[in-house]
A and B are shown apart, each in its own frame.
Chain A
Amino acid sequence: MSSQDQNPQTMPDEKGFFGPYGGRFVPPPLEPPLEELTAGFLKYRADPEFEAELAREYQHYSGRPTPLYHAERYSEHLGFRVLLKREDLNHLGAHKLNNCLGQALLARRMGKKKIIAETGAGQHGVATAAVAARLGLECDIYMGEEDMRRQSPNVTRIRLMGARVVPATSGDRTLTAAVDEAIGAWVAEAETAYYLLGSVVGPHPYPLMVRHFQSVIGREARAQVLEQFDRLPDLITACAGGGSNAIGLFHEFLGDDSVRMVGVEAAGSGVDTDRHAATLTTGKPAVIHGMNTYCIPDDAVTHEGSHCIAAGLDYPGIGPEHSYLKDSGRVQYEAVTDTEVLAAFATLCRLEGIIPALESSHALAYAEKLKGTLDADSLVIINLSGRGDKDMDEFMLRLAEKDAASAAGVPGHGKGAFC
């Protein structure tokens, strides 16, 4: 599990390694379809027609380029200039579509008739169902039975767009079961089906490919900041669960040595508790989900268990490129707690009239910590990876808890996260 020292911009190597991380650790039946996928991706990535087709979809279907918005009142609050990369303004309200569009177009070019994907909270399933509908491809979304119950509005959205939701009934009936059953289905019909993975994780070529499709974020942001401010930012930051929106923003800036980069993980209830998803902050390398990468340890045999307020960050591993960028020191990784996230979320809502996703609010919570450390001229780009409409149930629950607590006169609860 090693490869020669490489330039971060030319990684991974041909076997999918970012230094010691990444690779392809899969059973033999999965190797041929992954080989076919790698060949297909490398072929069309370099095809100007494919590139033009994708650019058209980004513009007309998803609404790109997304604005790089100078949030003036929020900047005043923080004491430095903040630019929000508005990925929440993509069709469906998140950066997820960048990747889904790219992979679905690739699937069609490769002659596949059907898209298979797994989904946990349902966001990736919705985005995948949308692109499948857009391109007239059959679509099966595997979802744990338990998740289907908890996320029933997303089940409805997926079905409305013509996809089939296949309940995963094994194991804990959540994301892990959905992944295993979806992969099983893919292996059995790999000739005609395409597996659309939602983040920069899993076996090669997914971390490379998903980065490729998400790096449109950083390409736009870099051009926009140069155009608007005639200089590079001092710091760029994004939340990192699997890490696709962060890689998407960071990749284009890797060669700009003056730009500090910070990935923000979910500390959940705190990194010293057993309820968090701060993989790089607390974990160590392990082989999971077909890759070698940092992973939250639990006991000697298994790995499991991550928790935080944002379902999209609730993942015990992280994309292998992040593991490499951490070790190399090029990117700094920090963790913020649920409480800090909710406070930052509320601040942005109030100061800018923008309701961010709880995932994206992790990056905002980190920005709060920079208060007083940067001068007023500093330029900071925060990736606002998604909108918060999907999180309304969680907010209503928290508000109800807060109201109940203040009605009961519990000390210390009068000034909760929403104040």
Chain B
Amino acid sequence: MILEQTTREFRTAGRKALVPFVTAGFPDEATSLALIRAAGETGCPVVEIGVPFSDPVADGPVIQQASQRALEQGMTLRRAFDAVTAAREHGAQPVMMTYLNPILRMEPATFAREAAQAGCAGVIVPDLGFEETGILRPVLADEGLALIDLAAPTTPDDRLARIAGPAAGFLYLVAVTGVTGTCSPVAEQLAAFAGRVRASTDLPLYAGFGIDGPARAVSSAEACDGVIMGSALLRCFLEESDSAAGLERARTLLIETRQALDDAWGGIEI
């Protein structure tokens, strides 16, 4: 699978991945595409594209607000494929984050085929419990797409081992006990958690939830192979008066975070 090839190569190069989370259609469709382009130009190997949903139980207030704004402007699962294609064109592997219901509405096999055609490399479904992954993993695999599994600090060891078995692409570590963007991970706790996961798999581990800036990205990346930044980026648009100013601030945040990670792990010049 192309996704896992990318994540493993990035690790082999001695670099830590920065994965931005972009809600498709927020603050508007054009600006979300511009942010995806900025992510590709900043050297993000993977971009997570969030499909807005009306009941995002795993997400904190910032992503909820972004989702709602995107829905109000008519964003749909099918239209989000344009964002996927844009990410691929700008050199990043697109991973879609969508709740289960929109996929079921489209039919899993249809979704997998259309996502693959759009250039998608992997899919994250936060409300798909591990026991139910059978309805999705095989049809995604048929199209060369990875189903990204999630693990939480409270996930017991035996369950971690079961999750790690079929996992592909990278493993998403939910770095805090909570929803996205409400509190931040503590480096020592994340290290202990990542250590438990490493006992079960050598897949690249990416940590998300609560990565609020360059410093937290560096401290969280210590124990992992990459970090996922969502709420902090989207907040730029909520706090700025217009989308151009928000985009500029988000782009700066991406560049500074990328630079901080490269400074810490001796990466190449951007």
Across the interface, name the chain B residue whose C-beta is closest to A176.
B55
Q: Which of A336-367 contact B (CB under 8 A)?
A: none
Known: A32-B152, A301-B51. A25 touches B127 (CB 8 A): yes
Q: Say whether A15 contacts B131, CB under 8 Å.
A: yes
Chain B residues with Cβ below 8 Å from A304 are: 54
Q: Hey, which chain B residues are within 8 Å of A181, CB to CB? A: 61
**Residue of A184, A288, A300 touching B106 (CB-CB under 8 A):** A300
Q: Hey, which chain B residues are within 8 Å of A28, CB to CB?
A: 129-130, 150-152, 155, 174
> A24 is contacted by which of B102, B129, B150 (Cβ under 8 Å)?
B129
Looking at the assembled complex, report how far the CB atom of B101 sits from the nearest CB atom of chain A, in whole angstroms.
5
Chain A min CB distance to B262 (Å): 30
* Interface status of B71 (Cβ within 8 A of chain A): yes
Report which of A29, A288, A301 forms a contact with B52, defined as CB distance below 8 A. A301
Number of A positions contacting B (CB below 8 A): 38
Whether A23 is near chain B, meaning CB under 8 Å from some CB there, is yes
Judging by beta carbons under 8 Å apart, are B178 and A29 in contact? yes
- Smallest CB separation, B212 vs chain A (Å): 16
Q: Which residue of B lies closest to A204 (CB)?
A: B129
A188 touches B178 (CB 8 A): yes
Contacts of A301 in B (CB 8 A): 51-54, 71, 75-77, 102, 105
> Which residue of B56, B99, B129, B183 has the most chain A CB atoms within 10 A of its CB atom?
B129
**Is A187 on the interface with B (CB-CB < 8 A)?**
yes
Within 8 Å CB of A188, what residues of B? 177-178, 182-183
- Residue on B nearest A170 in the bound complex, by CB: B61
Asked if B174 contacts A288 (CB within 8 A), the reply is no
| Chain A: minimal CB distance from B37 (Å) | 24
Q: Is the CB of B101 within 8 A of A187?
A: no
Whether B244 sits at the interface, judged by CB under 8 Å, is: no
How many Å from the CB of B181 to the closest CB on chain A? 10
Determine whether the beta carbon of A25 is less than 8 Å from that of B100.
Answer: yes
Identify which of A1, A24, A176 contacts B54 (C-beta below 8 A): A176
A162 at interface by CB-CB < 8 Å:
no
Q: Which of these, B75, B104, B127, B177, contacts A187 with CB under 8 Å?
A: B177
Within 123-173 of B, Cβ neighbours of A (below 8 Å) are at 126-132, 135, 150-152, 154-156, 159
Counting chain A CB atoms within 10 Å of each CB, the highest count among B61, B126, B154, B183 belongs to B154
Query: Cβ of A169 < 8 Å from any Cβ of B?
Result: yes
Residues of B within 8 A of A1 (CB): 132, 135
Q: Are A171 and B68 in contact (CB under 8 A)?
A: yes
Answer yes or no: A289 CB below 8 A from chain B CBs: yes
Encoded as 1 (CB less than 8 Å from any A CB) or 0, chain B from 76 to 87 comes to: 111000000000
Q: How many residues of B contact A (CB 8 A)?
A: 47
B203 within 8 A of A: no
- In the complex, the answer to whether A287 meets B104 with C-beta atoms within 8 Å is yes
Task: Tell whether A311 is near chain B: CB-to-CB under 8 Å.
Answer: no
A180 located at the interface, meaning its Cβ lies under 8 Å from any Cβ of chain B in the complex:
yes
Q: For chain B, what secondary structure do more than half of its interface residues adopt (helix, strand, loop), or is it mixed?
A: loop
Q: Is B91 an interface residue (CB 8 A)?
A: no
- Structural contact, A302 and B53, CB atoms closer than 8 A: yes
Query: Does B264 count as interface, using CB distance less than 8 angstroms?
Result: no
Q: In the complex, are the beta carbons of A290 and B127 less than 8 A apart?
A: yes
Contacts of A172 in B (CB 8 A): 68
- Residue B64 at the A interface, CB < 8 A? yes
If the complex has contacts A301-B71, A301-B76, are A184 and B101 also in contact, measured as CB distance less than 8 A?
A: no
How far, in whole Å, are A24 and B128 apart by their CA atoms in the complex?
A: 8
Q: How far is the CB of A158 from chain B (nearest CB, A)?
A: 22
Assembled-state Cα–Cα distance A299/B79 (Å): 13
B259 within 8 A of A: no
User: Which of B61, B64, B75, B128 has a CB less than 8 Å from the CB of A25?
Assistant: B128
Contact A25–B129 (Cβ < 8 Å) = yes
A26 proximal to B (CB < 8 A): yes
Q: Are B178 and A31 in contact (CB under 8 A)?
A: no
- Residue A409 interfacial (CB < 8 Å): no
The answer to whether the Cβ of A27 comes within 8 Å of any Cβ in the partner chain is yes
Q: Which residues of A contact B100 (CB under 8 A)?
A: 25, 287
Known: A171-B64, A287-B100. A29 touches B51 (CB 8 A): no
Is A300 touching B58 in the complex (CB atoms < 8 A)? no
Contact with B along A279-319 (1 / 0, CB 8 A): 00000001111100000000111111000000000000000
- Residue A183 lies at the interface, judged by CB distance under 8 Å to chain B: yes
Q: Is the CB of B61 within 8 A of A169?
A: yes
Q: How far is the CA of A25 from the CA of B59 in the complex (A)?
A: 15
Q: Which residues of B contact A286 (CB under 8 A)?
A: 101, 104-105
Q: Does B43 contact A (CB under 8 A)?
A: no
The answer, yes or no, to whether A190 is at the interface (CB within 8 Å) is yes
- Chain B min CB distance to A401 (Å): 31
Is the pair A303, B178 in contact by a Cβ cutoff of 8 Å? no
Chain A contacts of B135 at CB under 8 A? 1
The interface of chain A, by Cβ under 8 A from chain B, is 1, 15, 23-33, 169-172, 176-177, 179-181, 183-184, 187-188, 190, 286-290, 299-304
Known: A1-B132, A25-B128, A289-B55. 17 other contacts (CB 8 A): A1-B135, A26-B127, A27-B127, A27-B174, A29-B178, A31-B155, A31-B159, A176-B54, A184-B179, A190-B177, A287-B99, A290-B127, A300-B77, A300-B78, A301-B51, A302-B53, A302-B71
- 30 A-B pairs (CB sep. < 8 Å): A1-B132, A15-B131, A23-B132, A25-B100, A25-B127, A26-B129, A27-B57, A27-B127, A27-B174, A28-B174, A31-B155, A33-B154, A170-B65, A171-B64, A176-B54, A176-B55, A188-B177, A188-B178, A188-B182, A188-B183, A286-B101, A288-B55, A290-B57, A299-B76, A300-B77, A300-B106, A301-B51, A301-B53, A301-B54, A302-B71
- B interface with A by C-beta (< 8 Å): 51-61, 64-65, 68, 71, 75-78, 99-102, 104-106, 126-132, 135, 150-152, 154-156, 159, 174, 177-179, 182-183
Q: Give 9 closest A-B pairs by Cβ, nearest first.
A: A302-B54, A27-B58, A184-B179, A29-B152, A32-B154, A170-B61, A28-B152, A188-B178, A27-B126
